[in-house]
Structure 1
Protein backbone atom coordinates (compact mmCIF):
# COMPACT_ATOMS: atom_id res chain seq x y z
CA UNK A 1 0.00 0.00 0.00
CA UNK A 2 0.91 3.65 -0.30
CA UNK A 3 0.59 6.01 2.66
CA UNK A 4 -0.04 9.67 1.85
CA UNK A 5 1.07 11.96 4.68
CA UNK A 6 4.02 11.62 7.04
CA UNK A 7 3.12 13.66 10.10
CA UNK A 8 2.04 12.61 13.59
CA UNK A 9 -1.30 11.17 12.43
CA UNK A 10 0.50 9.08 9.82
CA UNK A 11 2.63 7.54 12.59
CA UNK A 12 -0.55 6.47 14.37
CA UNK A 13 -1.94 4.98 11.15
CA UNK A 14 1.23 3.06 10.31
CA UNK A 15 1.29 1.76 13.89
CA UNK A 16 -2.08 0.05 13.22
CA UNK A 17 -0.60 -2.16 10.48
CA UNK A 18 0.28 -5.79 11.17
CA UNK A 19 3.62 -5.21 9.46
CA UNK A 20 5.50 -2.12 8.31
CA UNK A 21 6.49 -4.20 5.28
CA UNK A 22 2.97 -3.73 3.89
CA UNK A 23 3.97 -0.15 3.02
CA UNK A 24 5.37 0.19 -0.49
CA UNK A 25 5.88 3.95 -0.21
CA UNK A 26 5.17 7.00 1.96
CA UNK A 27 4.61 10.42 0.36
CA UNK A 28 4.25 13.91 1.80
CA UNK A 29 4.23 17.40 0.25
CA UNK A 30 6.69 18.66 2.89
CA UNK A 31 10.21 17.99 1.52
CA UNK A 32 11.71 18.46 5.00
CA UNK A 33 10.17 15.18 6.21
CA UNK A 34 12.56 12.47 5.04
CA UNK A 35 11.55 9.46 7.14
CA UNK A 36 8.82 8.13 9.40
CA UNK A 37 9.14 5.06 11.65
CA UNK A 38 12.14 3.94 9.59
CA UNK A 39 10.36 4.35 6.25
CA UNK A 40 11.68 6.74 3.60
CA UNK A 41 9.33 9.63 2.78
CA UNK A 42 9.10 10.82 -0.82
CA UNK A 43 8.06 14.35 -1.77
CA UNK A 44 5.78 15.66 -3.19
CA UNK A 45 2.65 13.53 -3.22
CA UNK A 46 2.25 12.48 -6.88
CA UNK A 47 -1.05 12.78 -8.74
CA UNK A 48 -0.91 9.17 -10.00
CA UNK A 49 0.02 5.83 -8.49
CA UNK A 50 0.32 2.26 -9.66
CA UNK A 51 -3.28 1.03 -9.77
CA UNK A 52 -2.37 -2.38 -8.36
CA UNK A 53 -1.71 -1.04 -4.84
CA UNK A 54 -4.24 0.59 -2.50
CA UNK A 55 -3.78 4.03 -0.95
CA UNK A 56 -4.49 5.36 2.53
CA UNK A 57 -4.53 9.13 3.14
CA UNK A 58 -3.02 9.42 6.62
CA UNK A 59 -3.58 13.16 7.13
CA UNK A 60 -5.38 14.38 10.26
CA UNK A 61 -6.63 17.68 8.85
CA UNK A 62 -10.09 17.01 7.38
CA UNK A 63 -9.98 19.66 4.63
CA UNK A 64 -6.47 18.67 3.56
CA UNK A 65 -7.48 15.00 3.49
CA UNK A 66 -10.36 15.92 1.18
CA UNK A 67 -8.10 18.06 -1.03
CA UNK A 68 -5.57 15.23 -1.45
CA UNK A 69 -8.32 12.72 -2.28
CA UNK A 70 -9.63 15.04 -5.01
CA UNK A 71 -6.17 15.27 -6.59
CA UNK A 72 -6.02 11.52 -7.16
CA UNK A 73 -7.46 9.76 -10.22
CA UNK A 74 -11.04 8.52 -10.01
CA UNK A 75 -9.87 4.91 -10.29
CA UNK A 76 -7.67 5.05 -7.16
CA UNK A 77 -8.30 2.26 -4.65
CA UNK A 78 -8.43 3.27 -0.99
CA UNK A 79 -7.85 0.84 1.86
CA UNK A 80 -9.40 0.80 5.33
CA UNK A 81 -7.04 0.33 8.27
CA UNK A 82 -8.81 -1.10 11.31
CA UNK A 83 -6.99 -2.00 14.51
CA UNK A 84 -7.69 -5.59 15.55
CA UNK A 85 -9.27 -4.36 18.81
CA UNK A 86 -11.90 -2.30 16.93
CA UNK A 87 -15.43 -3.67 17.28
CA UNK A 88 -17.57 -3.18 14.17
CA UNK A 89 -21.11 -4.51 13.81
CA UNK A 90 -21.63 -6.90 10.92
CA UNK A 91 -24.56 -4.62 10.03
CA UNK A 92 -22.46 -1.44 9.84
CA UNK A 93 -21.65 0.01 6.41
CA UNK A 94 -18.11 1.28 5.87
CA UNK A 95 -16.81 3.56 3.14
CA UNK A 96 -13.24 3.59 1.83
CA UNK A 97 -10.03 5.01 3.28
CA UNK A 98 -11.23 4.77 6.89
CA UNK A 99 -8.93 4.36 9.89
CA UNK A 100 -10.20 3.00 13.21
CA UNK A 101 -7.76 3.14 16.10
CA UNK A 102 -7.55 0.95 19.20
CA UNK A 103 -10.78 0.05 21.08
CA UNK A 104 -13.16 1.88 18.75
CA UNK A 105 -16.78 0.72 18.56
CA UNK A 106 -19.19 1.06 15.63
CA UNK A 107 -22.67 -0.34 16.32
CA UNK A 108 -25.49 -1.80 14.23
CA UNK A 109 -26.92 0.03 11.20
CA UNK A 110 -24.34 2.79 11.40
CA UNK A 111 -22.97 4.17 8.13
CA UNK A 112 -19.41 5.53 7.98
CA UNK A 113 -18.38 7.57 4.93
CA UNK A 114 -15.09 7.74 3.07
CA UNK A 115 -11.77 8.90 4.56
CA UNK A 116 -13.12 9.03 8.12
CA UNK A 117 -10.90 8.91 11.21
CA UNK A 118 -12.40 7.13 14.22
CA UNK A 119 -9.80 7.70 16.88
CA UNK A 120 -8.78 5.81 20.00
CA UNK A 121 -11.67 4.44 22.11
CA UNK A 122 -14.34 6.45 20.27
CA UNK A 123 -17.82 4.93 20.46
CA UNK A 124 -20.48 5.26 17.76
CA UNK A 125 -23.84 3.78 18.70
CA UNK A 126 -26.64 2.36 16.54
CA UNK A 127 -28.14 4.03 13.46
CA UNK A 128 -25.59 6.84 13.19
CA UNK A 129 -24.64 8.44 9.87
CA UNK A 130 -21.06 9.68 9.57
CA UNK A 131 -20.31 11.59 6.35
CA UNK A 132 -17.00 11.75 4.43
CA UNK A 133 -13.83 13.35 5.87
CA UNK A 134 -15.08 13.39 9.47
CA UNK A 135 -12.73 13.00 12.44
CA UNK A 136 -14.17 11.45 15.60
CA UNK A 137 -11.47 12.21 18.21
CA UNK A 138 -10.36 9.95 21.10
CA UNK A 139 -13.02 8.91 23.61
CA UNK A 140 -15.82 10.77 21.82
CA UNK A 141 -19.26 9.20 22.18
CA UNK A 142 -22.02 9.39 19.59
CA UNK A 143 -25.31 8.15 21.02
CA UNK A 144 -27.89 6.48 18.80
CA UNK A 145 -29.26 8.00 15.58
CA UNK A 146 -26.71 10.85 15.39
CA UNK A 147 -25.82 12.42 12.03
CA UNK A 148 -22.43 14.04 11.42
CA UNK A 149 -21.96 16.17 8.28
CA UNK A 150 -18.97 16.16 5.96
CA UNK A 151 -15.65 17.38 7.33
CA UNK A 152 -16.79 17.84 10.92
CA UNK A 153 -14.38 17.45 13.85
CA UNK A 154 -15.92 15.83 16.94
CA UNK A 155 -13.51 16.75 19.75
CA UNK A 156 -11.93 14.39 22.26
CA UNK A 157 -14.19 13.20 25.05
CA UNK A 158 -17.26 14.94 23.65
CA UNK A 159 -20.75 13.43 23.78
CA UNK A 160 -23.44 13.89 21.15
CA UNK A 161 -26.87 13.01 22.50
CA UNK A 162 -29.37 10.77 20.66
CA UNK A 163 -30.95 12.03 17.47
CA UNK A 164 -28.77 15.16 17.13
CA UNK A 165 -27.88 16.29 13.61
CA UNK A 166 -24.51 18.03 13.19
CA UNK A 167 -23.95 19.95 9.95
CA UNK A 168 -21.02 20.01 7.55
CA UNK A 169 -17.58 21.36 8.51
CA UNK A 170 -18.49 21.95 12.15
CA UNK A 171 -16.07 21.92 15.10
CA UNK A 172 -17.08 20.42 18.43
CA UNK A 173 -14.67 21.25 21.23
CA UNK A 174 -13.21 18.54 23.44
CA UNK A 175 -15.36 17.57 26.41
CA UNK A 176 -18.52 19.11 24.97
CA UNK A 177 -22.06 17.79 25.33
CA UNK A 178 -24.06 18.48 22.17
CA UNK A 179 -27.78 18.35 22.97
CA UNK A 180 -29.32 20.02 19.90
CA UNK A 181 -28.81 20.22 16.15
CA UNK A 182 -25.90 22.26 14.75
CA UNK A 183 -26.02 24.14 11.42
CA UNK A 184 -23.26 23.84 8.81
CA UNK A 185 -19.99 25.55 9.74
CA UNK A 186 -20.88 26.12 13.38
CA UNK A 187 -18.81 25.59 16.54
CA UNK A 188 -19.81 24.10 19.85
CA UNK A 189 -17.88 24.44 23.10
CA UNK A 190 -19.02 22.91 26.37
CA UNK A 191 -22.82 22.96 26.29
CA UNK A 192 -23.28 25.86 23.84
CA UNK A 193 -23.33 26.48 20.12
CA UNK A 194 -21.06 29.56 19.84
CA UNK A 195 -21.70 30.56 16.24
Structure 2
Protein backbone atom coordinates (compact mmCIF):
# COMPACT_ATOMS: atom_id res chain seq x y z
CA UNK A 1 0.00 0.00 0.00
CA UNK A 2 1.35 3.44 -0.96
CA UNK A 3 1.81 6.15 1.67
CA UNK A 4 -0.96 8.11 -0.09
CA UNK A 5 -3.47 5.24 0.29
CA UNK A 6 -2.39 4.64 3.89
CA UNK A 7 -2.66 8.34 4.83
CA UNK A 8 -6.04 8.58 3.10
CA UNK A 9 -7.36 5.56 5.03
CA UNK A 10 -6.14 6.91 8.39
CA UNK A 11 -7.58 10.40 7.76
CA UNK A 12 -10.91 8.90 6.63
CA UNK A 13 -11.20 6.80 9.80
CA UNK A 14 -10.75 9.96 11.92
CA UNK A 15 -12.56 12.62 9.85
CA UNK A 16 -15.74 10.83 8.75
CA UNK A 17 -17.13 10.32 12.29
CA UNK A 18 -15.52 13.46 13.73
CA UNK A 19 -17.11 15.86 11.22
CA UNK A 20 -20.08 13.65 10.26
CA UNK A 21 -19.05 14.01 6.61
CA UNK A 22 -21.79 13.66 4.02
CA UNK A 23 -20.91 13.32 0.32
CA UNK A 24 -23.28 14.38 -2.46
CA UNK A 25 -22.66 13.80 -6.18
CA UNK A 26 -19.62 11.52 -5.91
CA UNK A 27 -20.73 9.83 -9.15
CA UNK A 28 -20.17 13.18 -10.95
CA UNK A 29 -16.40 12.63 -10.77
CA UNK A 30 -15.41 10.77 -13.97
CA UNK A 31 -13.83 7.39 -13.29
CA UNK A 32 -11.24 7.79 -16.04
CA UNK A 33 -9.32 10.49 -17.87
CA UNK A 34 -7.94 13.82 -16.64
CA UNK A 35 -10.03 15.62 -14.02
CA UNK A 36 -9.69 18.95 -12.22
CA UNK A 37 -11.63 19.16 -8.96
CA UNK A 38 -12.15 22.84 -8.06
CA UNK A 39 -13.36 23.55 -4.54
CA UNK A 40 -14.04 26.53 -2.30
CA UNK A 41 -11.47 26.96 0.48
CA UNK A 42 -12.65 27.44 4.06
CA UNK A 43 -10.06 25.55 6.13
CA UNK A 44 -6.57 24.06 6.09
CA UNK A 45 -8.40 20.74 6.37
CA UNK A 46 -10.03 21.13 2.93
CA UNK A 47 -7.33 19.21 0.99
CA UNK A 48 -7.56 16.06 3.14
CA UNK A 49 -11.38 16.27 3.14
CA UNK A 50 -11.54 16.50 -0.66
CA UNK A 51 -8.89 13.77 -0.76
CA UNK A 52 -10.94 11.30 1.29
CA UNK A 53 -14.31 12.08 -0.31
CA UNK A 54 -13.19 11.96 -3.95
CA UNK A 55 -13.34 8.57 -5.70
CA UNK A 56 -10.03 9.43 -7.41
CA UNK A 57 -6.54 9.92 -6.00
CA UNK A 58 -5.69 13.62 -6.20
CA UNK A 59 -2.57 15.70 -6.71
CA UNK A 60 -2.76 19.02 -4.81
CA UNK A 61 -0.69 22.18 -5.13
CA UNK A 62 0.61 23.41 -1.78
CA UNK A 63 2.38 26.63 -0.90
CA UNK A 64 6.10 26.38 -1.48
CA UNK A 65 7.09 27.38 2.08
CA UNK A 66 5.73 24.08 3.41
CA UNK A 67 8.28 22.14 1.36
CA UNK A 68 11.17 24.02 2.98
CA UNK A 69 10.67 22.01 6.18
CA UNK A 70 12.60 18.76 5.51
CA UNK A 71 10.23 16.20 7.07
CA UNK A 72 7.02 17.96 6.02
CA UNK A 73 8.34 18.51 2.49
CA UNK A 74 9.09 14.81 2.01
CA UNK A 75 5.74 13.83 3.49
CA UNK A 76 3.83 16.22 1.20
CA UNK A 77 5.62 14.86 -1.88
CA UNK A 78 4.81 11.31 -0.78
CA UNK A 79 1.10 12.12 -0.54
CA UNK A 80 0.99 13.67 -4.02
CA UNK A 81 1.34 17.37 -3.17
CA UNK A 82 3.67 19.61 -5.17
CA UNK A 83 4.94 23.14 -4.45
CA UNK A 84 3.72 26.38 -5.95
CA UNK A 85 5.20 29.83 -5.31
CA UNK A 86 2.23 31.97 -4.41
CA UNK A 87 1.89 35.41 -5.93
CA UNK A 88 4.25 34.54 -8.78
CA UNK A 89 3.81 32.92 -12.16
CA UNK A 90 5.39 29.62 -11.15
CA UNK A 91 6.16 27.96 -14.49
CA UNK A 92 7.38 24.76 -12.83
CA UNK A 93 4.09 24.34 -10.93
CA UNK A 94 2.09 25.08 -14.12
CA UNK A 95 4.12 22.52 -16.06
CA UNK A 96 3.74 19.94 -13.28
CA UNK A 97 -0.03 20.48 -13.18
CA UNK A 98 -0.37 20.08 -16.95
CA UNK A 99 1.80 16.94 -16.86
CA UNK A 100 -0.47 15.40 -14.21
CA UNK A 101 -3.48 16.05 -16.45
CA UNK A 102 -1.70 14.77 -19.57
CA UNK A 103 -1.12 11.53 -17.64
CA UNK A 104 -4.89 11.20 -17.12
CA UNK A 105 -4.67 11.94 -13.39
CA UNK A 106 -6.71 14.19 -11.08
CA UNK A 107 -5.62 17.68 -10.01
CA UNK A 108 -7.20 19.34 -6.97
CA UNK A 109 -7.36 23.14 -7.01
CA UNK A 110 -8.76 25.88 -4.79
CA UNK A 111 -9.48 28.69 -7.29
CA UNK A 112 -9.45 31.37 -4.58
CA UNK A 113 -5.82 30.50 -3.88
CA UNK A 114 -6.21 31.13 -0.16
CA UNK A 115 -8.64 30.34 2.63
CA UNK A 116 -11.76 32.44 3.12
CA UNK A 117 -11.72 33.90 6.63
CA UNK A 118 -15.52 34.30 6.81
CA UNK A 119 -16.66 31.28 4.78
CA UNK A 120 -17.84 33.46 1.89
CA UNK A 121 -16.54 32.80 -1.61
CA UNK A 122 -13.62 34.99 -2.64
CA UNK A 123 -12.38 36.17 -6.02
CA UNK A 124 -10.74 33.41 -8.05
CA UNK A 125 -7.19 33.65 -9.29
CA UNK A 126 -6.52 32.80 -12.94
CA UNK A 127 -4.80 29.47 -12.15
CA UNK A 128 -7.84 27.18 -12.29
CA UNK A 129 -8.89 28.83 -15.56
CA UNK A 130 -5.40 28.30 -16.99
CA UNK A 131 -5.52 24.55 -16.35
CA UNK A 132 -9.13 24.31 -17.55
CA UNK A 133 -8.32 26.01 -20.86
CA UNK A 134 -4.93 24.40 -21.47
CA UNK A 135 -6.03 20.80 -20.89
CA UNK A 136 -8.85 18.52 -21.95
CA UNK A 137 -9.66 17.72 -18.34
CA UNK A 138 -13.19 17.39 -17.01
CA UNK A 139 -13.79 20.30 -14.60
CA UNK A 140 -15.70 19.17 -11.52
CA UNK A 141 -16.90 21.99 -9.23
CA UNK A 142 -16.93 21.09 -5.53
CA UNK A 143 -18.49 22.89 -2.56
CA UNK A 144 -17.57 22.27 1.07
CA UNK A 145 -20.32 23.41 3.44
CA UNK A 146 -20.41 23.48 7.20
CA UNK A 147 -18.14 24.28 10.12
CA UNK A 148 -15.14 22.13 10.91
CA UNK A 149 -16.44 21.41 14.40
CA UNK A 150 -16.54 17.94 15.97
CA UNK A 151 -20.07 16.53 15.88
CA UNK A 152 -21.34 19.12 13.38
CA UNK A 153 -22.21 17.96 9.86
CA UNK A 154 -19.78 18.78 7.04
CA UNK A 155 -21.13 18.34 3.50
CA UNK A 156 -18.99 17.89 0.38
CA UNK A 157 -20.86 18.31 -2.93
CA UNK A 158 -19.46 17.35 -6.32
CA UNK A 159 -21.27 19.01 -9.22
CA UNK A 160 -21.62 17.77 -12.77
CA UNK A 161 -18.53 18.25 -14.95
CA UNK A 162 -18.47 21.62 -16.71
CA UNK A 163 -18.15 21.88 -20.48
CA UNK A 164 -15.29 24.31 -21.09
CA UNK A 165 -15.26 23.85 -24.89
CA UNK A 166 -17.08 27.15 -25.54
CA UNK A 167 -14.49 28.99 -23.43
CA UNK A 168 -11.64 27.31 -25.32
CA UNK A 169 -13.23 28.05 -28.71
CA UNK A 170 -13.81 31.70 -27.77
CA UNK A 171 -10.20 31.94 -26.56
CA UNK A 172 -11.50 33.21 -23.21
CA UNK A 173 -9.03 34.52 -20.66
CA UNK A 174 -7.94 32.27 -17.80
CA UNK A 175 -9.58 34.74 -15.39
CA UNK A 176 -12.94 34.47 -17.20
CA UNK A 177 -12.74 30.66 -17.10
CA UNK A 178 -11.85 30.75 -13.39
CA UNK A 179 -14.85 33.02 -12.69
CA UNK A 180 -17.14 30.60 -14.55
CA UNK A 181 -15.85 27.76 -12.34
CA UNK A 182 -16.38 29.83 -9.18
CA UNK A 183 -19.94 30.64 -10.23
CA UNK A 184 -20.65 26.88 -10.47
CA UNK A 185 -19.22 26.39 -6.97
CA UNK A 186 -21.44 29.25 -5.77
CA UNK A 187 -24.54 27.59 -7.31
CA UNK A 188 -23.71 24.29 -5.55
CA UNK A 189 -23.15 26.09 -2.26
CA UNK A 190 -26.42 28.02 -2.46
CA UNK A 191 -28.43 24.99 -3.58
CA UNK A 192 -27.30 22.82 -0.67
CA UNK A 193 -26.94 25.53 1.99
CA UNK A 194 -30.63 26.34 2.29
Q: TM-score range by the shorter chain?
A: 0.3 to 0.5
TM-score where L is the length of structure 2: 0.36
More strand by share: 1
Kindly name which structure, 1 or 2, has the bigger radius of gyration based on alpha carbons: 1
* Larger relative contact order (CA 8 Å, sep ≥ 6): 2
Q: Which structure is higher in helix share? A: 2
